Amino acid sequence: MAAGGGLRFLLVALHMAAASAALPLVVNTWAFGKATETAWRVLQMGGSELDAVEKGCTQCEMDQCDGSVGYGGSPDESGETTLDAMIMDGNTMEVGAVADLRRVKNAIGVARKVIEHTKHTLLVGESASLFAVRMGFPYEDLTTPKSLSMFSEWLNQSCQPNYWKNVVPDSSKSCGPYKKTEKVICKEDWISSQRRISIHNHDTIGMIVIGESGTVASGTSTNGAIHKIPGRVGDSPIAGAGAYADSTAGGAAATGDGDIMMRFLPSYQAVEYMRMGTDPTVACQKVISRIRKYAPKFFGAVICANTTGSYGAACNKTPGFTQFHFMVYNPSLSQPSEQVVDCI
């Protein structure tokens, strides 16, 4: 009797696994369902995996997903919104990326042009904007009344929180301008970092698309950390950090505190775990655990998918962030499905 029950449980588990492992597949961070649906529709209309990633992330840029993707959000210390994005082809291993992009709204579209029209991988700052204009993208104001209000409120709170340390005047009480102190304290203040970066002020869309044949593409788009120091680049446009794709293994994408997460190349590491046969959920958990050894209170999550269509996610449990929501679409679903994992 017990053996029969165990067998039935195993068969149900195998059926569920088979149902979840279906191609094609779209997976993206957070409950950004319109982006998922857009990417899926591109695939259904015969578009490539790269097309699906680009259009899916573009949807979030237009929708200003959670205020942390696209124009009009996360103003930096000067009040300007700048954008970071990348896209990766898992067949050719080509990457196109832009960082600190100014006055151009479609950041991942510009990143795609870096692949198509240059031999480079990453363009940054004002030069990236000039490249975008040459590729036919219009200059547009990325500032909105909302972003101006956020900036004004921050100034009125003595520029708190911010990303300075080892400076005078005291950056925890003043807006500066700052100068370096004679004595440098090297120890990272993880608690302070946790207050600056949280689910409430910094998300990124990271997307993985796997076609029917197992071809993998991935991409990201974000306006970065709110009140960042001008010129700051996080993990999102860095291959292996913000996202990674390899059609011989799978894809991964990260979201959260990019200043910490990019030091560990979590997306690359997760793909390498999957290459060795590790289940996608376990691969995500392993990279989160690796970061946590050094930054116990970091805010972050990773999504993973292998070339069979199996997928998973993991996040680091911190106060106020105990679960992570992400989106999935595959042939076993009739519409984008919001999935939830408990943080570890």
CA-CA distance, 294 to 39, in Å (whole number)?
35
| 41 labeled part of a ligand binding site | no
| 234 labeled part of a ligand binding site | yes
CA-CA distance, 152 to 108, in Å (whole number)?
29
Q: Which residues contact 61 (CB under 8 A, 6 or more apart)?
A: 69, 70, 71, 83, 105, 106, 107, 108, 221
Which is catalytic among the residues 29, 58, 81, 204? Answer: 204
| 232 labeled part of a ligand binding site | yes
| 195 labeled part of a ligand binding site | no
| 233 labeled part of a ligand binding site | yes
Block residue for tokens 């790269």: 50
Q: Are strands 122-124 and 95-101 parallel, antiparallel or unpaired?
A: parallel
Verify whether residue 38 is a known catalytic residue.
Answer: no
| 257 labeled part of a ligand binding site | yes
| 215 labeled part of a ligand binding site | no
Residues tagged in the binding site annotation: 232-235, 255-258
Active-site residue numbers? 204
Binding site as annotated, residues for substrate: 232-235, 255-258
